[in-house]
Amino acid sequence: MDGIATTDDPIAIFEAWMAEAAASEPNDPNAVCLATCTPDGMPSARMVLLKGVDPRGFVFYTNLESRKGGELAANPNAALCFHWKTLARSVRVEGAVEPVSEAEADAYYASRARTSRLGAWASKQSRPLESRFALEKAVAEYGLKYAIGEIPRPPFWSGFRVLPQRIELWRDMPFRLHERRVFHRDGAGWRIETLYP
């Protein structure tokens, strides 16, 4: 018996690992590399922050008109790769993505700091920026526009849920004889296999 599989539920193991990472990582334990792909197979990867996980999947938020947003609209599949240096552990997730509900996106947007909410309005994420001043001016203008009352969620800003078809839990072991446990979605449950490192 090795150290990874304390249960046959990979989401429960992930949540336990994330709790350990939250206690040991110096910052952003929820940072994760998100890979998307164009329909003709060109991949791209960037970091995002995981903002929710439950048995349905893994949630992050972004600008829908960004590069990743465009790639996900054209090809709604993604991969996530977590790496926690302090734990020497990694988790890989692959699956289709679906938009979170409007209510879920509204609730998360409302929880963000005021300037972050204004920043979501001001940033034309992934498009060319003529100057830093242009960005700061846009934040200031939206600050004036929404000086009174609630700041609505921009229609171009929301979240995605990665619906896991495959979850791999990886644990560092001496002499690079690492442990790899893969969970493949199988109906309502998971088919489990172990891979050579």
Ligand X SMILES: Cc1cc2nc3c(=O)[nH]c(=O)nc-3n(C[C@H](O)[C@H](O)[C@H](O)COP(=O)(O)O)c2cc1C
Binding positions for FMN: 46-51, 61-62, 67-68, 125-126, 170, 180
CB 3 to ligand X: min, Å:
28
Q: Which one of the spans 7-15, 66-74, 88-96, 147-155 is the region binding ligand X (CB under 6 A)?
A: 66-74
CA torsion through residues 5, 190, 17, 71, sign: positive
Rg of the Cα atoms in the chain: 19
Residue number, 67 or 180, with CB nearest to ligand X: 67
CB 64 to ligand X: min, Å:
10
Q: How many residues does the chain have?
A: 197
Tell me whether residue 176 is one of the annotated catalytic residues: yes
Site for ligand X in 35-64 (CB under 6 A): 44, 46-49, 60-63
Distance (Å, whole) CA 25 – CA 9: 24
Q: Per rule CB under 6 A, is residue 90 in the interface with ligand X?
A: no
Q: Per rule CB under 6 A, is residue 123 in the interface with ligand X?
A: no
Annotated binding site for substrate: 51, 108, 112, 116, 176-178
Q: Which of 139, 27, 37, 21 is nearest to 84 (CA)?
A: 21
Q: Per rule CB under 6 A, is residue 68 in the interface with ligand X?
A: yes
Check 176, 181, 185, 191 and give the catalytic one: 176
Residue 60 contacts residue 159 (beta carbons within 8 Å): yes
CB 72 to ligand X: min, Å:
9
Amino acid occupying residue 42: M
- Output phi, psi for 36, to 5 deg: -125, 180
List 17, 18, 29, 66, residue binding ligand X (CB under 6 A)? 66
Enumerate the active-site residues: 176
Residue ranges that bind ligand X, judged by CB under 6 A: 28, 31, 44, 46-49, 60-63, 66-68, 125-126
